[in-house]
Structure 1
Amino acid sequence: MAAKEKKGSMTVEEAGRMGGEKVREERGSEFFSEIGQKGGEKVREERGSEFFSEIGQKGGEKVRDERGTEFYQEIGHKGGEKVKEERGPEFFSEIGHKGGQRVRELIEEGKAAEGGSNKKS
Structure 2
Amino acid sequence: MKRVLAATLMAGAATVVPLAGTASAADAPPVSADNVLDCNTKTTGRQGWAACRNNTSQSVAFRVTVVCGRGFDGAGNWVTLNPGATGTSGFECGSASTGAGSASWEEG
Q: Same fold (TM over 0.5)?
A: no
Q: Which has the higher helix share?
A: 1
Band of TM-score, shorter chain: under 0.3
The structure showing larger relative contact order (alpha-carbon pairs under 8 Å, at least 6 residues apart) is 2
TM-score by length of 2: 0.22
